[in-house]
Structure 1
């Protein structure tokens, strides 16, 4: 138990640090895509990791299943130490511009922010839905609807695949919206409209999953619904994490991600034993109806808070009122030139370090 707790502490310390580095290296026009790549990589390995560990434990023993990921982590740590830098200025280049994060601010500004409360609450509810569908979706199909086990397992795989595709696609799409200056409303993040659509889509496909599945339903239909549900859930969750980081004060991006991560951990606990207990007291259909209500609550929170200013500070010191004024051609050229130079210098530093 102590070793497991220490492992959790190590992972908890790593996530805010790596998100802070990505935030520092990539401009707002690319941050959503690369943050989605980061979260998709973690989600993808979380999905296939248990299967790999089970296979290794059967054929080579549980010690091998535990030692292999530890050895891989140790092997990659020198690369992380010697070939990565906190920010562009550490290697002589200008740091990236920001979308809405101020250069200064206090933690009390962030903790007391209405916008952060909006993000944390909607993120927490969506994460409960996402975790519940991933962990209990197969059980619901098999025990409540009588769907064959192999069809139910295909549903789980489709949710994870849809999540990876949704996170990367929507991250790139919202970057494109920022790059082209597409903007909706006053004082909001341009990514928020996509999050609202994801929450609406999650409600739609979750209801289809609950009421449209039975033993005679085709495997293809269930897989498509599960894929779309994963696309909306994972995509919306990844975008909320992106927004929480990019509008935070520059020196507090790690803290912003840590707060969002805390909501995710609490939601994972809620989606575990409490949901199973509800299924034992009532049945799986009732448990998933409660999950459905949770998804609807997330959507309503996003709609009610749609005009909350996308900032953690009462009076933003940086960041323009309109993206169209901010991302003019001259500054876009500066963005792309900076990214190209930073990438070239990064490759040169890696080659020098390894050589």
Structure 2
């Protein structure tokens, strides 16, 4: 299939493929739109079942970054990259170095940061081969509270957004006793669980990686459940914090939660599922709006990094979501579609 005919191709400016024979690197970089600035986005490493699955993911993720940056109020474009392979067994220093050289070939049209399957150390290694990196902390930024890992900011932004969704749908500001099911408790999901636990919420968690579940149970008294059971729990909020395309015709009918608010990208399997959730009376916090904390954190990196400024910007996520929710109520239109239109008014104007 031609890239241009791919169902997820959306006038992307760049789609680049790379194979490094020596390291075994197989990677794709996609830059969706640079109208507002350079295409910034993380590098995901995942054992995709096929090359087409990897292409689908990078096209969807890069598009989401454009919309995310626009609604987060950032002068930033949307990009993303994927490495095909299992990060726990296949990742090597040589492969990461080759990825850095691949990024550099685009001459700054794409800025790479960490994502699922990569980490800050990987981005530092890439930085030896390209200056087009984001999410690094120098000594001054570290002293100001920045680690280079965007996960804490992402999780906190999701917490602020979840709180706004609960306020709008359930009419409550106090999260004590709120029942939340978290799907995926890796770097972001675990931190979100921490914020919710501190606020008094009750937690149910699942993950494909058992040690992540065990850590959450030990730290926050969360209740572990099987991956197949997470959708049907009698809870107030369902928080997807793993991979995307998990809201579809088989899972949506199982949901008892009245709010969906989580960190995962591309949660809807198809755009029409936005309308399905609306008709079921489930409030959906559009993923690229609620999970914008990481890109906001990276945007402010540098020697003048100030956590108070970042936190104030993160809190705006709740306000943006509230405006979307209110428009959805008044127009009886799905929240995801409304968010898209609001973002397009910014980066297409």
Tell me, yes or no, whether TM beats 0.5.
Answer: no
Q: Which of these two proteins has the greater Rg computed from alpha carbons?
A: 1
- Greater strand fraction, Structure 1 or Structure 2: 2
Q: TM-score, normalised by structure 1?
A: 0.27
Flag the structure with more relative contact order, 1 or 2, with Cα contacts below 8 A and sequence separation at least 6: 1
Q: TM-score, normalised by structure 2?
A: 0.27
